Each structure stands twice: as structure tokens, then as C-alpha cells.
């Protein structure tokens, strides 16, 4: 993988790229870092959400909101992964210095060389940082949903959960469908 801008963004029905990257997984001394790879979510639903950079303004609001709903993702048997182009050391420093990030329950993956962001086609053409992209990947490693926001606009975590619920029904779900409502199939 190279950190060059591909001609298009990876989309629905395509295989999520193979990767192995370092992550900040804890603030506990000696247990802060671990490698994360495809094997860590094989056979499970996975949600990957990218933010541009650590120590910014919109990003911690999103990360904190995903963490607030971490049990909702666990209840759906979905693994949650956050990523940016910062190193795992910067992730740890940010977690240690931002009250809303101290008790995260999911890994902060370091796409430091922008290899995964590049392969997904989500690097901003303006500044080279990852866009606010969210991927839902099924247990077979296939991308089932992609949402990408401009750098200045935070995403809606409840919509990610709603979409995950709809995908997990394996049925036809009408507009604004929510878990517990009738499907069309």
C-alpha cells in the first residue's frame, strides 16, 4: 500500500483491505499499545470510523459519542475501531490529556503512513488527512455501508447504529426504518 490518492473511494460490496497497524488500546502502563489487523474482526461485524487528526475540535465529540454507544455496538456483536493518521503515541497523549477520551473502550488505530486511508480512497485532496469516513463491514469482510463527511462536519452515531441494525436484518428496510419496526421482506 502506498500513501497516494487512489482514483476512487472503496465502496459497497468490495472487500475491506488487509491491514496490520499499531493502536492505542489502553492507558494502563505497559499495556498501552497492540497491533490490530483483519484477524481481530474476522467473522464479526466491524465499524471503522476515521477522523482527520488528534488534538482537534470536532474529532473528540465524535470519538466520545462512539464510546458512549460502545455497548450498543457490542450488543449487536460489532467490533468498533477508531482511526486517524496520527501515531499510537499521539493517540495515547491525547487520551491522557482529554477528559472525554480517557476511558475509551475501543482501539485508536494509528494509520500513521496513511496506507489504509489511501487504499480506501478517503484522503482529503485539500490537506491529505483522512476524511470523516465510516465503514460497516460484514462478517465476511465485505463493505456494506460507507458514509463520508467533510472535515468540518461531525457524523451521527445513532445513524450508524440504525444502519447496522438494518443491515443485520438481511431484509428490505424502508426509509427511516428503526429496529423493532416491520421490514419489507
Could you tell me the CATH superfamily of domain 20-168?
Glutaredoxin (3.40.30.10)
| Helix and strand element counts for the chain (H, E) | 5, 7
pLDDT computed for residue 59 by the predictor: 84
pLDDT at 92: 96
Q: Which of 24, 59, 173, 175 is catalytic?
A: 59
Which pLDDT score is estimated for 7?
Answer: 56
Per-10-residue mean pLDDT, the chain, length 185: 60 97 96 96 96 88 95 97 97 93 95 97 93 97 95 93 96 92 89
Does the model's pTM come out above 0.85? yes
Longest C-alpha distance within the chain, in Å? 51
Hey, how many other C-beta atoms are within 10 angstroms of the C-beta on 51? 28
**Cα angle: 90, vertex 69, 11; to 5 degrees:** 75
pLDDT for 144: 98
- Asked if 59 is an active-site residue, the reply is yes
Amino acid at each position: 500500500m502506498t500513501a497516494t490518492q487512489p482514483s476512487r473511494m472503496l465502496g459497497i460490496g468490495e472487500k475491506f483491505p488487509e491491514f496490520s497497524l499499531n493502536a492505542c488500546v489502553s492507558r494502563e502502563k505497559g499495556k498501552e499499545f497492540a497491533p490490530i489487523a483483519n484477524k481481530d474482526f474476522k467473522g464479526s461485524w466491524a465499524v471503522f470510523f476515521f477522523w482527520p487528526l488528534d488534538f482537534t475540535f470536532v474529532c473528540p465529540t465524535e470519538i466520545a459519542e462512539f464510546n458512549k454507544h460502545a455497548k450498543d455496538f457490542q450488543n449487536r456483536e460489532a467490533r468498533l475501531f477508531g482511526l486517524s493518521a496520527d501515531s499510537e503515541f499521539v493517540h495515547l497523549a491525547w487520551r491522557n490529556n482529554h477528559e472525554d477520551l480517557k476511558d475509551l473502550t475501543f482501539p485508536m488505530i494509528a494509520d500513521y503512513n496513511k496506507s489504509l486511508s489511501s487504499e480506501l480512497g478517503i484522503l482529503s485532496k485539500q490537506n491529505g488527512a483522512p476524511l470523516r469516513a465510516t465503514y460497516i463491514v460484514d462478517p465476511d469482510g465485505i463493505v456494506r455501508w460507507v458514509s463520508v463527511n467533510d472535515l468540518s462536519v461531525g457524523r451521527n452515531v445513532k445513524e450508524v447504529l440504525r444502519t447496522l441494525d438494518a443491515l443485520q436484518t438481511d431484509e428490505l428496510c424502508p426509509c427511516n426504518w428503526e429496529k423493532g419496526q416491520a421490514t419489507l421482506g
